[in-house]
Amino acid sequence: MSMFAFIQNIGPTQWIIILVLALLLFGKRLPEVGRSLGRGIVEFKKGIKGIDDEIESEAAQSKSKHSPKPPLTAEGEDARVSRSTKVEEQASNGPAGA
């Protein structure tokens, strides 16, 4: 059996009694705990936002520094363009030797 098996049998009324007792025992310190917990959450969110901003700025810098330029042919055309249009143009004009 589990050490905390008795928790399964506690109803809502018992939970309210336990919470009231905890409030009476630790009531003076609860506002301090809440404040420190809130500050911790705010600091955590600021840290996450700072990391996100840093990642975005690094990505933007790397894109601007390393923007790839297409390879050019001797005529200054984009080498990635399909040559099939030139072949089709030559075929429609007829054979070169005729």
28-70 pLDDT, tens per residue? Answer: 888 888 899 999 999 999 999 999 989 888 888 777 666 567 6
pLDDT of residue 58: 86
What's this model's pTM, rounded to 2 decimal places?
Answer: 0.41
Question: Residue 78 in contact with residue 69, Cβ under 8 Å?
Answer: no
Exposure b/e, 15-35, CB count within 10 A at least 16 = b: eeeeeeeeeeeeeeeeeeeee
Question: Residue 48 in contact with residue 41, Cβ under 8 Å?
Answer: no
- Please determine, for residue 14, whether its predicted confidence score (pLDDT) is greater than 70: yes
- The domain segmentation of the chain, as residue ranges, is 10-93
Pick 16 or 86 by higher pLDDT. Answer: 16
Tell me the CB-side half-sphere exposure of residue 85, using CA atoms within 13 A. 3
